[in-house]
Amino acid sequence: MQQFNRRELGLISASLMASSLVPLSSYAQSDTPKRGGILRVAQCSANRRTADATNAKHPYFFVDLSTRVAYNCLTWVNEKLEWEYELANDIAPLDEKLATWDVQLREGVLFHNGKEMTSSDVVASFNLHRTTGFGAQILRIESVSKYKIRFFLTEGNAEFPYILAEYQHAIMPADTPEKIGFSGIGTGPFKFVSADPNRSATFERNDNYWRKGFPYLDRLEIHNREGQEEAALNGLRARQFDAVLSIDARGLRQIERDSDFEVSIGRGSYHFVIQLPKHPGSPFEDKRIRQALALAIDRDAINRIAYAGKLGWVGNDSHLVSTDPAFLARPVKRDVALAKKLLTDAGYPNGITLPTLYFSPQLPEVPIYFQVLQQTVKDAGITLPIEERPADGYAQFRTGDSDISKGKFHKFAMTAVGSRNPGISLNRMRGAFVESGHWRGEAHDRYMELYKKAMLTRDAAVRKPIYHEMQRILHEEVPAILPAGGDAVLVKRKYVRNLSYHPQIWSVKFDEVWKNS
């Protein structure tokens, strides 16, 4: 029987008292879009890529919301997590190997400085992008003609169009590697006016936007209110803000009965990876301990308490979100007796004290989430110290100088991940990546063989059972733990029209938003 302290019991009561959500709905106002006005938005989720005044306009550093404000990518992922064309208007592989792709660009697209976007800009952008993150699979990129580019990949990828939609793959005017992107010039609906790093950014309408007639707003302000949800909601009530993004279930309870507000929910938006470092001497080298921890966590309790049972979902220890059609639920839910047996078999009949688990309050509910997790695993005899770390510098703290060839490993720590297509999500458990805890062995090799098979399979319906088999391996091996996740929640004043939240927080668009007041 899990035990909660008085403070946690208070949080539980507050969460469970949350009543029904207020949906976006029609009301007695004109649905005819109006041009003009200023929209002021507060964002409560952490964005630790923003650094200082020298790089705050770069698409790599002001990630939350602004990627599709000042910039565009070749493709976009919609609210159903399907890819669509954006700056590209045709994408196709050259053969069945799926490792060479041609991309045709829209013609007549202008950057904010009036320069037309051509293939040379895309080549320059991806010569930067391919050195980092998801772009690392791009071996090289060539200009075929003024409006056509060819991508050469390290290996086949049936879901490559999703890669082109990533927020770090914005298209920027060609420049030297040292200068590209720092001007803040993109092709997006709004132009940078100013940026106050870690605090706010201001944009104005791009009158030469390639989507004719958009945007409607004259000006857009994005304010960082990470860790300040109460202040953000007070600002909403006082009309300092028109909308607040990324609030939790408790924040929603404060405003849901107010008739001035409406709520939009992006289902299956994000969840948290608990990295299990597998270095010599780590308890997580033993699969039985990983399995025991995964079985001891009361995932339903996390959903019930941190998300009021309405704004969350139970994870399956893969990076897939529950709304993904390829998601496969764990075959065994919580099993404390089995967790105890596994610990006994591993040499811990009287329970185990694990190293400190570190977390950062990247979203408002995170501290409650990990308090519930800590309390529930006690039932299996697992003592789990937890420690909250400040968001500033957390990414570097979590990963450190991670180089397994030199015996350097990351921390036993959490990080937030968003919803993506299966090809990206399941590849995040590769052994070379920190989120897998540098998983290795026969099961890992089998997992990666299945991944390569899926990436060479063009038919999504045929890829799905391959993805299921990959998830079964994760259920057995538990290279990392992803216990539960949340839905992205946006609250706005009713006069703000056509603004809805996106499961991918960084993919929200403001092109078609207007104010009816």
**pLDDT of 144-174, one tens digit each?**
999 999 999 999 999 999 999 998 899 999 9
Integer Cα distance of 404 and 407 in angstroms: 5
Residue 13 pLDDT exceeds 80: no
Helix intervals (H) in 257-415: 287-296, 299-306, 336-345, 366-377, 394-399
Helix intervals (H) in 132-285: 160-163, 229-237, 249-255
Domain edges within the chain: 6-13+268-486, 72-181
pLDDT given for residue 7 in this prediction? 40
Residue 195 pLDDT exceeds 90: no
pLDDT given for residue 256 in this prediction? 76
Integer Cα distance of 159 and 217 in angstroms: 34
Q: Distances from the Cα of 101 to the Cαs of 15, 82, 104, 456, 507, in angstroms?
A: 49, 19, 10, 13, 24
The residue among 311, 198, 300, 299 whose CA lies nearest residue 251 is 311
On the question of a common fold for 6-13+268-486 and 72-181, the answer reads: no
- Crossing angle of helices 366-377 and 6-16, in 10° steps, is 120
pLDDT given for residue 48 in this prediction? 58
Higher pLDDT pick, 37 / 44:
37
Residue 361 pLDDT exceeds 90: no
pLDDT given for residue 406 in this prediction? 67
Percentage helix, strand, coil for the chain under 3-state DSSP, each rounded to 5 = 30, 20, 50
The residue among 334, 413, 330, 345 whose CA lies nearest residue 380 is 334
Tens of pLDDT, residues 377-435:
999 999 999 999 988 788 888 887 766 666 667 889 999 999 999 999 999 999 989 99
- Please tell me the pTM assigned to this model: 0.89
pLDDT given for residue 458 in this prediction? 96
Average pLDDT, the chain: 90
The residue among 99, 64, 100, 72 whose CA lies nearest residue 88 is 72
Instruction: Please tell me the class of the 72-181 domain.
Output: alpha beta
Q: Which fold has domain 6-13+268-486?
A: Dipeptide-binding Protein; domain 3 (3.10.105)
pLDDT given for residue 22 in this prediction? 38
pLDDT given for residue 47 in this prediction? 62
What percent of the chain is modeled with pLDDT above 70?
91
pLDDT given for residue 437 in this prediction? 93
